[in-house]
Structure 1
Amino acid sequence: MATKISTELLIMILNNVQSIQDLHSSLLVNRIWCKVTIPILWELPLGQECCTDNKKLRKKALCIRTYISCMDAQARTLLIQNGFYLSLSPPRVTFDYPSFTHKLRTDNLVYFISIYSPQISPLQITGPGRYNNNNEISITKSRILFHEICKLIINRCSFLEYFKLAKVPGEFRNSDLIGSILKLPSAPEVFRKLESLTLKIRDELIYSLYKSLKLICENILNMDLEFNSHDQLLPEFISVQKRLENLSITSSYFLNCNSLLWAIISQRETLKILRLKFLNFCHFWGKLSPIGEFISLQELYIDDCCEFNLDCQLLASSFTRLNRFHFRNKYGTPQEFIIKILETANINLKNIYLDLYPTITSDTFSAILNYCTKVTKLTLYNLSFEQVIAIFNNNFNELRVFSFDCIEEGFDANKLLCQMDEKILEILKMERGYLVLIV
């Protein structure tokens, strides 16, 4: 007699299936398998990164047709009145498909709309900034369809766990279609359980979203944000979070980020990964007093930030438990800030990446040798020949991967290999480590 699998166990199994083809096959097993698989499949179209295979993209875009079939009579009437032909989307569906959409990427939705209905694509421009009459009609249709599908999903699904707003054409933003999503009566409850948020639009309209989300969402785990304003709403939105673990912030124009940095500091008990890009630290005011320890922060990435002042050393002394430190800067090297991080994190640091302009200073290099003796992966750019040799002569017993480039002209990799201690190379070989030369 065949052994029956409980529904709970079957859900756990199918949630870990990576192959879409296998999930489609599971639909055919029996009614129970079909009922369990459908919600899993319908989280994917608007929640995954789009592939580059046109055939697969067109197949995924058919979800638009199904969403239209799920619309009520009022929404379908609105589409018909605006010139949509709904013969391929009859109002008969087996499942309530929009209720399974717990991951919503607006860039996917816009793209699928353009594929499903090429004649109403919002991306077809006939001239520099101008549209012909047909294109203006197409843009209007796209806006209507976009709004109705968003409204359908928000009204039908019980919650959203992931929301990404990116690569939305200006015609959608200017008409405040995005802002209208959070004005729907059911939106507060749907967004309340949001765990991952990505906002990649740099204009003023995005701040109406911050204002609304601040009142709804306080348990977001992952944030990936871009901004280009001094607006206080973003720092306030970050500060109200209670479980924030992964935060990525990209600015533009190197804005003064004092309030933003204090919002980040307010999350020092929960943050595990922090990524900062194009921030200006010059006006950061730490009051020259201890900031407090980032007790959970494991990974810190800083790319092309500028103007690190004295108070930033207080911030650096808070990163006591860093496991991974990534710093890249082409606008000058904040030597004291970097050294303080290396000194504070000390032997906890296992992975270090430094790409500094114009070179890694002798003091910074000495800090690596003295404080980071437990490092397992080391990537250093703009080294001198003597510094490369010093790495191999140092007591890095746990080093497994060393990547570097050398600033000296005529650098001879063969000469370097000959000068390396044979015992060190033997240890690396025995423990299955790797030596990476970038020359």
Structure 2
Amino acid sequence: MAYKISTEILIIVLNNVQSSRSTQDLYSSLLVNRIWCKFTIPLLWELTLGQEYYTEHELRKKALCIRTYISCMDTQVRNLLIQNKFDLSSSPPQAIFDYPSFTHKFIINNLVYFVSIYSQQIVSPDQENSNSDDADEEIVTTESRILFHEICKLIINRCTFLDCFKLVRVPKCFLKNIYLRYGDLIGSILNLPGAPKVFKKLESFTSTIRRNLNLTEPLYESLKLICDNILSMDLSLNSDPQIESLEKLIIVQKWLENLSIAGNFYRLPNSLFWAIISRKETLKSLRLDLVDFSNFKGKLASIGQFISLQELYIKHCYRLHNSDCLFLASSFTQLNSFHYFHSRHIDSYPREFIIEILQTANIRSFSFDCGEEFDADELLCQITKNVPESLEIIEIRMDYNDPWIFSADSLRIFLEGWCCKGGGNKPRILRIKRSLKLNDFMPPLNLVTISSEHFKVIEEYGIRFDME
């Protein structure tokens, strides 16, 4: 006897089958019956432009989605493509589903890749008017730009909302093939009439382009007028006008939970730090990379507490030894994990900043590195005096280019102080995380910095030891 699955249960099943990395199981779901196919198609086409692709084979395979988008275009747009020498024989009109309407996650780079690849297959240059390979290439790239703009318009006109929008660096070879600049990428989306409605529900925004100073400023300016419910932002900064726009974009977000900023060695203005502080009640994860804290003034006003912040990543940041930064460190009272990544180019190790965080929060997981130019033995002893009772996992990172060495005696002092906290009954994990070898001639890192004496100390205190 056959049993029918309710629509609600089927949707739950298919939502749990989908993956941001693989769609194979969803493709299998298409073949079950017409009902399964009907509910699987929207999930597959939501991932088409929202999935990360890592190989050229994946890109070429997924580029076939362009012919389906063309099939969804109206007669006027199809005639425009035909006039511009596109061969549409593989894209008959009137698609079975309204595929563009299923787009809710838009990695704009994917569309660049797909159009760049597919347009080279369907553009038919007029051989009588093209006497060289350069002429053919110019036709392909120019007409590819038309196709890109028309697909952007199609998606914005048909989809009801976007909850994820991502713009990252596109390899020059693809930009050359499609004859586009980054300004065209942005303009194609946000200048369309339906863009404000579509972007209103945006929840995740990524813009990690580093060398286009005048590109993302208008993007931030537009988004701050449209979006106020973004939950996650991953951003790379380059210029003063861009940063000013970003400050406003951060401040207007009501429920911002995850924020990642790459400052690219840029001295961020004090106003941006206070824009971040203004979200202290909602932020759950904060990552600051290549940020210069020289301009931060924490003494100007009461910072308060980041009451929701669980994870803090500080990577290759400058001037953390600034006394004002201690006011910031003391505000992270609810941290569960803290990760500090040092840079060999930074002339001072921010011991006070790190210790202030250890003293302030009940951290469960702490990872850090040091470098051979600093006294690692002294650092371990200082941390031992301030390790919180809640600390269960410590990760020490080693780098081949900048290894750091600590003695077995210092490790014993460290483990003695750590294990005595909290009565010594909690499980403890010490993890050594090594960078990969550049070649086979390099010795294993544990033989360079970790000796048998270190392992004896670890075994003596019954610490669970992992090495990655």
TM-score, structure 2 as length reference:
0.83
- The amino acid that maps onto 1:435 is F
Q: 1:287 aligns with which of 299, 308, 326?
A: 299
Equivalent residue, structure 2, for 1:379: 395
8 Å Cα contact 1:238/1:263 also seen in 2: yes
Q: Kindly indicate whether the alpha-carbon contact (under 8 Å) linking 1:289 and 1:314 is maintained by their aligned counterparts in 2.
A: no
- Once the two structures are TM-superposed, the CA of residue 174 in structure 1 deviates from its matched residue by 5.4
Tell me, in whole angstroms, the C-alpha distance in 2 between the residues paired with 1:258 and 1:176.
Answer: 32
Report the CA distance between 1:200 and its aligned residue: 1.6
Listed as ranges, the gaps of 5+ residues in structure 1 are 122-130, 429-433
Alpha-carbon distance in 2 for matches of 1:365, 1:150: 58
SS in 2 for 1:389: helix
Pairing partner for 2:414 from 391, 399, 407: 391
Alignment of 1:210-229 (within 5 A): 210-229=220-239
Q: Distance in 2 between matches of 1:78 and 1:30?
A: 37
1:401 aligned to which of 409, 430, 441: 430
Residues 328 and 354 of structure 1 are in contact (CA less than 8 Å); yes or no, is this contact kept in structure 2?
A: yes
Give the superposition deviation at 1:340.
1.2
User: Deviations for 1:242-289, whole angstroms, at most 9, x for unmatched residues?
Assistant: 111111111223223322211110110111111111111111122344
Whether 1:6 aligns to 2:3 is no
Residues 183 and 215 of structure 2 are in contact (CA less than 8 Å); yes or no, is this contact kept in structure 1? no
Q: CA RMSD in A?
A: 2.6
1:26-65 correspondence runs (5 A): 26-52=29-55, 54=57, 56-65=58-67
Q: Indicate yes or no: 2:303 matched with 1:303.
A: no
Shift of 1:391: 2.8
Determine whether 1:192 maps to 2:200: yes
Over residues 23-52 of structure 1, what are the superposed CA-to-partner deviations in whole Å (9 max), with x where a residue is unaligned?
Answer: 223223222211111101111111111042
Conserved in 1, the CA contact under 8 Å of 2:387 and 2:418? no
Decide whether the 8 Å contact of 2:120 with 2:140 is kept in 1: no
Q: Is the 8 A contact 1:392 1:421 kept in 2?
A: no
Q: Give the aligned partner of residue 340 of structure 1.
A: 356
Aligned to 1:329, which of 319, 338, 342?
342
The alpha carbon displacement at 1:117 in A equals 2.9
SS at match of 1:283: coil
Task: Tell whether 2:267 aligns with 1:255.
Answer: yes
Shift, 1:176, TM fit: 2.8
Deviations 1:161-182 (A, max 9, x none): 1111112438523553422311
Cα-to-partner distance string for 1:379-406 (whole Å, 9 max, x where unaligned)? 235352132222332343431233278x
Q: Compute the displacement of 1:14 (Å).
A: 0.5
Report what 2:17 is aligned to: 17
Aligned-partner SS, 1:235:
helix
Deviations 1:323-377, CA, capped at 9 Å, x for gaps: 11111122131222222111111xx211111123433473674234433233222
Moved more, 159-168 or 388-397: 388-397
**Which 10-residue stretch deviates more, 317-326 or 246-255?**
246-255
CA distance in 2: counterparts of 1:99 and 1:160, whole angstroms: 10
The corresponding residue for 1:125 is none
- Which residue, 336, 345, 351 being the options, matches 2:365? 351
- Structure 1 residues 67 and 374 mapped into 2: Cα distance closer, same or farther (>3 Å)? same
Tell me, yes or no, if the aligned pair for 1:120 and 1:135 is still in contact at 8 Å: no
Contact 1:247 1:271 survives alignment (8 Å): yes
Question: Contact (CA 8 Å) 1:200, 1:226: kept in 2 or not?
Answer: yes
My pick for the range that moved more, 218-227 or 305-314, is 305-314
TM alignment of 1:146-185, pairs within 5 A: 146-168=148-170, 169=175, 171-173=179-181, 176-185=184-193
Q: Could you tell which deviates more after superposition, 186-195 or 350-359? A: 350-359
1:22–1:412: structure 2 CA closer, same or farther, 3 Å change rule?
closer
Q: How many residues align?
A: 418
The percentage of counterpart residues that share the same residue type is 53
Of residues 78-87 and 1-10 in structure 1, the stretch that sits farther from structure 2 once superposed is: 1-10
Distance 1:84 1:362, change over 3 A: same
Is 1:257–1:284's contact at 8 Å kept on the other side of the alignment?
yes
Where do 5+ consecutive residues of structure 2 fail to align?
A: 124-132, 398-403, 435-444
When structure 1 is superposed on structure 2, of 299-308 and 333-342 the one drifting more is: 333-342
CA separation of 1:367 and 1:392: change in aligned 2, threshold 3 A: closer
Q: How far 1:437 sits from its partner (Å)?
A: 5.1
| 1:110, distance to aligned residue in structure 2 (A) | 1.1
Q: Provide the TM-score with structure 1 as the length reference.
A: 0.88
